[in-house]
Amino acid sequence: MRFYLASLACAWAIGLALPAQAQRAHSRDPFHDVASLNARLAALHAAHPSTTRIVKIATTGRGDVLALEVDPDGQFAADAPALFIQGGIHGNEWISTEVVLRLAELVSDGRPRWRGLTYRLVPVINVDGFATGSRKALDPAGAPFDANRDFPVPGQGDHVSQPLIAALRDYVRTGKVVAVLDYHSAAECMLWPFAYDKAAAPPDVDAIAAITAQMASAVGFCSGQVAKVISYKHQGTASDWYQDALGVPAILVELGSVEDPGSQAVEQILIDQERPFGLFLDWLEARGTKAAVAVPASGCRDVTITVGEAPLGYQASGQACDGQRHGAWAFRYIDGGLMREGAYERGKEHGTWRTYHPGGQPHDVGGFVAGTPDGDWKRYAATGTVIEERRYAAGSREGALSRWTDDGALWQVRACAGGMCKTQCKTTGKTTCEAILAKAARPDRHAKRPASRATRAKPTRAKPAVVRKPPAAKRKKPTATPAS
C-alpha cells in the first residue's frame, strides 16, 4: 500500500520547482504572496489587539517569518498551554499556508469556542521557497536545503540546523507547546509519528492514531503512520522532532492538490479543514490539555458569521442551538453569491451539501452522515462538465476515483479501498490515462501459452475485441446539471 503514495506526497514536488506565478495560474487568483500574507497577519492583530500579537521568528532574503499568537483571554502567560500550527515548510505547498492563515483567522475572531487554549500559528516557515514556488529553503549562502529534513532525528543526537530552522526550534521551545499540527500537501492523508522509523511510535500511539483517523474521516483522507504511508526516506522532519523533543502529539496533515485537473476549490478546502481542526480541539479538551469551555444553554437562534476575506472567505448564516449549528445553513462569498449550502445535525454536516462556483454553477455535490462524507460525490467545472467522481463509505474513500480536465479528457483514475487509493492511470505528457488503461486491458503477448487444449482452441480473434473495448472509465461522462 505504500509505494504509490510517495508519488503524491510532499516530496514528490522536488522536481516541480515552478515559479509561484506559474503554479497559481491554475487556481483562482488572488492568493497571498509574502507581503500580502504578512499584511494579513498584521491586519488580524490590528483587529484584535488585546488577544493577538505578532512575533518575528526569523528574517530571510524574501521577508520575515512571522507567528500570530492568539490568547482568547488576552493574558499571554508564559506557561499557558499553546497549540503550535505551522504551514509552508515546503514553500511550494502553498495551500498549507492558506489553511494555517484560515485557522489564524478563525481562532482570532473572539468566539468562545477557542477559549481554554492559546495558539501560535506560522502560516509559512520557508518564506524564500514560498516566494519563489520552491519546495526548498535557502541557507545563508543561497544554497537550497529541505527545511523539513533539517531537524535532529530522534535518538540520533543533536544536529546543527540552518539558521532558519534553529530559530524555529528556539521559538517552539519557548513557552509551553502542548500539541502540533504541521500542514503539507498533496497526499490527502492525516499522519501520526514517526516518519524516521516504522518501528518507533509515540508513547500514547493508540490515542494519537485514533484521533488522526477520526480527523481523516471528516474529510475523506487516508490516515496512518508517516513512515508506513509515505515510503520515501524522511529523516529529520519537523513533526518527528516536535513529537520527540517536546513530547507532544504532532500530527502531519497532507492536504489535497489544488492544481491538478478535477481539484477541489481552495475556498472549499479551507472550510473542510475546519472539521478535523474542531475534532482535534475537542480531543485536546477531552485529554485535559485544553481547558473545557462551558456552553450555556441558549436555545435556538439565527446566527451569521464572517470568516476570512474575499475571495476565499465566506459569510455563513443559519440557526445555532445551544452553540451548535442545526438545520439549514448557507455560506456566501463575501463579495456576492451562494458558495455552499446544506444542513447540520447538532453541529455536524448531515445530508446533501452543494457548493457553487462564484458564477453560481454547481461545483461539488455529495452527502454527509454525522460530519463525515458518505456515498457518491461529483465535482463539476463551471461549464457543467464532470471533473471528478468519488465515493465514500463513512468518511473512507472506496472504489474508483476518477478525474477529468475541464474539457472532459480523462486525466486520472485511482482505485480506493479503506481510504487508501492506488493510481491506475494518470495523463502525463503525451501518455494519456486512457491509453494506459487500454494497454492494461490488452492481453500480454509474452504470457505463457495456455496449457489446456480447451483454452488453446479458443478463437484468437477475440483478442482485438478486448483491445477495442473501452475501459470502464472511458465511458461518456454526464455533462448535465447534477442530480441530488
Q: Which residues bind Zn ion (CB under 5 A)?
A: 10, 90, 93, 184
CB of 380 to Zn ion, least distance (A): 29
CB of 301 to Zn ion, least distance (A): 42
What is the C-alpha separation between 89 and 126, in angstroms, rounded?
A: 5
What is the C-alpha separation between 322 and 301, in angstroms, rounded?
A: 9
- DSSP 8-state code for residue 63: E
CB of 149 to Zn ion, least distance (A): 10
Nearer to Zn ion (CB atom), residue 93 or residue 150: 93
- DSSP 8-state code for residue 291: -
Give the three cell numbers for residue 353.
451539501
Nearer to Zn ion (CB atom), residue 93 or residue 389: 93
> CB of 130 within 8 A of CB of 124?
yes
CB of 425 to Zn ion, least distance (A): 25
**How many residues does the structure list for the chain?**
484
Nearest to 230 by CA among 244, 219, 240: 240
- ∠ CA 394-333-321, rounded to 5°: 55
> CB of 329 within 8 A of CB of 318?
yes
Q: CB count, 10 Å around CB of 24?
A: 19
What is the C-alpha separation between 157 and 244, in angstroms, rounded?
A: 12
> Which residue in the shown chain puts its C-beta closest to Zn ion?
10
CB of 167 to Zn ion, least distance (A): 19
Nearest to 58 by CA among 141, 136, 162: 162
Nearer to Zn ion (CB atom), residue 90 or residue 357: 90
Nearer to Zn ion (CB atom), residue 16 or residue 440: 16
Q: Kindly report the backbone phi and psi dihedral angles of residue 386, in degrees, each rounded to the nearest multiple of 5, phi listed first.
A: -70, 130
> CB of 213 within 8 A of CB of 247?
no
> CB of 222 within 8 A of CB of 419?
yes
Give the three cell numbers for residue 262.
478535477
CB of 91 to Zn ion, least distance (A): 9
Nearer to Zn ion (CB atom), residue 10 or residue 410: 10
CB of 93 to Zn ion, least distance (A): 5
Nearer to Zn ion (CB atom), residue 10 or residue 433: 10
The 3-state DSSP class for residue 310 equals coil
What is the C-alpha separation between 428 and 166, in angstroms, rounded?
A: 39
CB of 9 to Zn ion, least distance (A): 7
Nearer to Zn ion (CB atom), residue 76 or residue 145: 145
CB of 166 to Zn ion, least distance (A): 20
What is the C-alpha separation between 113 and 307, in angstroms, rounded?
A: 14
Amino acid at 172: V
Nearer to Zn ion (CB atom), residue 10 or residue 213: 10
CB of 87 to Zn ion, least distance (A): 10
Nearer to Zn ion (CB atom), residue 95 or residue 387: 95
Nearer to Zn ion (CB atom), residue 51 or residue 97: 97
CB of 48 to Zn ion, least distance (A): 30
Non-local CB neighbours of 39 within 8 Å, separated by 6+ positions: none
Nearer to Zn ion (CB atom), residue 4 or residue 12: 12
What is the C-alpha separation between 271 and 349, in angstroms, rounded?
A: 12
Q: Is 323 exposed, middle or buried (0-12, 13-18, 19+ CB in 10 A)?
A: middle
Amino acid at 325: R
